[in-house]
């Protein structure tokens, strides 16, 4: 187990419990097709927008769990591109309060999913392509991947040079469910 995996295992245990951390690292999948199928299904349903990483990641993890019994986790953290910190995790995302109160606050981090050494990001291309003008993120994405890409799915150790996902926190089930429901509500009401 490398240093990143050890830290991730600790973050899962802290957020979701030791048993779930052990189960996550014990899971092995043999067919990556569910990732592509689920990514395409979600991207057909959700219109592109800037900064929708939390809801897209939660919806993707939920879809993988519900349709393929794949224990993907939603990870929040930092994203560095060519050494520059593009998204900086400063605090945990809100948890459901049970009051039905809407929480509105800005959040500067980034979210993605991970399972079995793979990292998946449905929002990185959409976010980069929606930036008007030049930016480190947009320039990097266009240079490395080109236009019109949909989902990033890669073994963590095979991410392109200069692209670094730094896990800081693993979302709990209640958070994943809340953000998945929020995305469903937005889609249903055209928000």
pLDDT band at 106; cut points 50, 70, 90: low
pTM: 0.90
Read out DSSP for 33-71? HHHHHHHHHHHHHS---TT-HHHHHHHHHHHHHHHH---
Residue 118 confidence (pLDDT) above 60: yes
Confidence of residue 98 (pLDDT cuts 50, 70, 90): low
Ordered structural domains, the chain, with CATH: 3-90+105-189 (3.10.550)
Residues 155 and 65: their CA atoms lie apart, in Å, by 19
Q: What is the per-residue pLDDT across 154-167, written as a single tens digit (0 to 9) for each?
A: 999 999 999 999 99
pLDDT in tens, 81-95: 999 999 999 887 877
Q: How confident is the model at residue 32 (pLDDT cuts 50, 70, 90)?
A: confident
Tell me: the pLDDT tens digits for 36-63? 899 999 999 998 877 789 999 999 999 9
Q: Which residue has the higher pLDDT, 102 or 67?
A: 67
Q: Copy the structure tokens of residue 150.
A: 């949909």
């Amino acid at each position: 187990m490398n240093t990143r995996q050890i830290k991730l295992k600790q973050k899962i245990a802290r957020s979701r419990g030791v048993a779930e951390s052990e189960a996550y690292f014990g899971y092995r999948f043999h067919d990556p097709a569910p990732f592509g199928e689920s990514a395409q299904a979600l991207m057909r349903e959700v219109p592109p927008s800037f900064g929708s990483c939390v809801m897209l990641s939660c919806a993707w993890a939920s879809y993988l769990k519900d349709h393929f019994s794949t224990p993907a986790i939603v990870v929040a953290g930092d994203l560095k591109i060519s050494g520059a910190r593009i998204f900086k995790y400063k605090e945990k995302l809100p948890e459901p309060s049970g009051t039905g109160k809407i929480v509105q606050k800005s959040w500067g981090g980034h979210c993605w999913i991970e399972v079995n050494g793979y990292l998946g990001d449905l929002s990185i291309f959409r976010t980069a392509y929606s930036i008007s003008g030049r930016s480190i993120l947009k320039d990097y994405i266009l240079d490395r991947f080109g236009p019109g890409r949909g989902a990033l799915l890669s073994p963590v150790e095979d991410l392109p040079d200069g692209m670094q996902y730094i896990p800081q926190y693993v979302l709990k089930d209640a958070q994943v469910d809340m953000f998945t429901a929020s995305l469903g509500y937005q889609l249903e009401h055209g928000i």
